[in-house]
Chains A and B, each alone.
Chain A
């Protein structure tokens, strides 16, 4: 209860400060909430950007594609690195080092490679989401109690069965945590990609509004994008908590 209260409080304080600063500053550069709210209304009623739905859908589809690829590749690479000691020792450190590189430095080359359309955004979202998922699978496999693997083998389990009935449940919590981080980063990748250079999607709308000094519209677009991100993370956090209760 008090957590909720504190959360509401910080939002109220932030909005109040924002309103104050917005009223004092240049209205072209700063928009107070009192002006952003009507802009949000115009946005959601499709007055300012009639094709908002298409852009939103495109962004969502890019995220879905990037995330799906990140999951598939992350699970595959993580399992390959985690289950084979030699491969893991050879490539694990390289992976960790690459993860430490600020990923945005790769983006220009992705644009050159995949063009300005959706492909480069998907690639960037994939790249960002891939690492935390792979590393979570790797960490998850490492934390599986080897004795449980021995027990399963004694009961006649094959490699595949051991993975399914012992490893997967044992690492579920870590895995879901990685999947959640991966989702957040895939979303960031796609939207950053769109902001840095694109012809369609929420990022391109944000860029458009910002470039034309339509600051109120810009803020409204950011709010909608924010809702998208917070919403997807909320779903992921519910799943994570369920996994936690299950593994404990």
Chain B
């Protein structure tokens, strides 16, 4: 497998009112093309910061991120698209116009970008909602619009920062299945941040467990099982338990500090 994303010893320190906080310390990892790689860890372990670095939104204090052989020095919509926990849709744009956003910034002609967005409506399950505004959509639909906006620019990498974190559990499960379906068709490389053990085990080809602050990589789990995965199979239940025992320690440390 070719390494699409290589993170080389990145550090990140934030200045806060109560002194500097080490968010990441000497983190190195690599993600191969076509992987569904999940970052999981206790709150505040810097997983979102790490994802921000991959997308060029956060600058590392030391080390560097290399994507496809070139160092990242800012957001590059030709390489990576980002989906945030807060969908961040533009309230004055319809579903279709929100999905077109990235193409519009790239100067794609109106008819062309409209066609790309319209083609996505089906897989997104939003065919009847093309002309609706974000306030008229449910939470799950809004997040699908945000995912559509990321898919529309057809990047080799999609970065997802707890995209289903604000949804209720049932919606979350369905969204996970739906995302898997999309990913198996597009075969983009996904880096996915989550709190959910369930999501990590059901979706990922690889799970990276991070430590409590300052975030470092604690362990890496390979998940070669085929999709769709029977989530209550003994194999996956055992995996989830193993994952939890890894994270539990770190979460306790994080809680002790807080």
Q: Do A and B bind each other?
A: yes
Residues of A within 8 A of B (CB): 145, 147-148, 150-157, 161, 165-166, 169-170, 172, 246-248
Chain A residues whose C-beta falls within 8 Å of the C-beta of B133 in the assembled complex: 248
Number of interface residues of B (CB under 8 A): 22
**Given that A154-B57, A156-B75, A156-B77 are contacting pairs, would A169 and B106 also be in contact in the complex, using a CB cutoff of 8 Å?**
no
Report the minimal beta-carbon distance from B55 to chain A, rounded to whole angstroms.
Answer: 6
Separation of A150 and B75 alpha carbons in the complex (Å): 10
The 6 listed contacts between A and B (C-beta, < 8 Å) are A151-B82, A154-B81, A155-B75, A156-B75, A165-B104, A246-B92
Q: Are A155 and B88 neighbours in the complex by a CB distance under 8 Å?
A: no
Q: A169–B90 contact, CB under 8 A?
A: yes
Separation of A172 and B93 alpha carbons in the complex (Å):
14
Question: Is the Cβ of B55 less than 8 Å from the Cβ of A161?
Answer: no
Q: Is the CB of B84 within 8 A of A147?
A: yes
Q: Contact: B77 with A166, CB < 8 Å?
A: no
Q: Contacts A155-B77, A155-B81, A156-B76; is A150 near B105 (CB within 8 Å)? A: no
B residues with CB within 8 A of A? 55, 57, 75-77, 81-82, 84, 86, 88, 90-92, 101-102, 104-106, 133, 135, 149, 153
- B105, A156: Cβ atoms closer than 8 Å: yes
A156/B106 in contact, CB under 8 A: yes
Contacting residue for B75 out of A147, A153, A169, A172, CB 8 A: A153
Least CB distance, B133 to chain A, in whole angstroms: 8
**Best-buried of A156, A157, A170 by chain B (most CB within 10 Å):** A156
Q: A155-B75, A155-B105 are in contact. Are A148 and B57 (CB under 8 A)?
A: no
- Distance of B162 from chain A, by nearest CB (Å): 14
Question: CA–CA, A161 to B101, complex, Å?
Answer: 12
Chain A residues with CB below 8 A from B106, complex form? 156
Q: Which residues of A contact B76 (CB under 8 A)?
A: 156
Chain A, residue nearest B57 (CB): A154
Chain A nearest CB from B5 CB (Å) reads: 16
Residues in chain B near residue A152, CB distance under 8 A: 101, 105
Q: Are A151 and B84 in contact (CB under 8 A)?
A: yes
Query: Measured between alpha carbons, how far is A246 from B102 in the docked complex, in Å?
Result: 21
Chain B contacts of A169 at CB under 8 A? 90, 92
Tell whether, in the assembled complex, residue B75 and residue A166 are in contact, meaning their CB atoms are under 8 Å apart.
no
List of B residues within 8 angstroms of A161 by Cβ:
105
CB-based contact B88/A148 at 8 Å: yes
A155–B86 alpha-carbon span in the complex (Å): 15
CA–CA, A151 to B82, complex, Å? 8
Which residues of A sit under 8 angstroms from B77, Cβ to Cβ?
154-156
Complex Cα–Cα for A147 and B82 (A): 13
Q: Is B82 a contact of A154 with CB atoms below 8 Å?
A: yes
Distance to closest chain B CB from A158 (angstroms): 9
Among residues of B, the one whose C-beta sits closest to the C-beta of A173 is: B92
Are A155 and B101 touching (Cβ within 8 A)? Answer: yes
Which residue of A has the minimal Cβ distance to B78? A156
Question: Is B88 touching A150 in the complex (CB atoms < 8 A)?
Answer: yes
Among candidates A151, A156, A246, A248, residue contacting B88 with C-beta atoms closer than 8 Å: A151
Q: Are A147 and B86 in contact (CB under 8 A)?
A: yes
Contact B75–A154 (Cβ < 8 Å): yes
Q: A148-B90, A166-B90, A247-B91 are in contact. Are A153 and B153 (CB under 8 A)?
A: no
State the CA gap A145–B106 with chains docked (Å). 23
Contacts A156-B76, A156-B77 given: A165-B105 contact, CB under 8 Å? yes
Nearest CB on A from B158, distance (A): 12
Q: List, in ascending order, chain B residues with CB within 8 A of A155's CB.
A: 75, 77, 81, 101-102, 105, 149, 153
Give chain B nearest CB distance to A191 CB in angstroms: 36
What separation, in Å, do the CA atoms of A145 and B77 have in the docked complex?
A: 21
Residues of chain A with a CB closer than 8 A to B92's CB: 169-170, 172, 246-247
Partner of B55, one of A154, A165, A246, A248: A154
B135's closest neighbor in chain A, by CB?
A248
Q: Quick one: closest B residue to A154, CB to CB?
A: B82
Given the complex, which residues of A lie within 8 Å of B88, measured CB to CB? 145, 147-148, 150-151
**Which residue of B is nearest A158, CB measured?**
B105
What residue of chain B has the Cβ atom nearest to residue A156's Cβ?
Answer: B77
Shortest Cβ gap from A159 to chain B (Å): 12
Looking across the interface, which residue of chain B has its beta carbon closest to that of A149?
B88
Query: What 4 pairs between A and B have smallest CB-CB spacing?
Result: A156-B77, A151-B88, A154-B82, A155-B102
Bound-state Cα–Cα, A147 to B85, Å: 11
In this complex, what residue of B is CB-closest to A169?
B92
CA distance A24 to B77 in the complex (A): 78
In the complex, which of the residues A157, A170, A246, A248 contacts B105, with contact meaning CB atoms closer than 8 Å?
A: A157
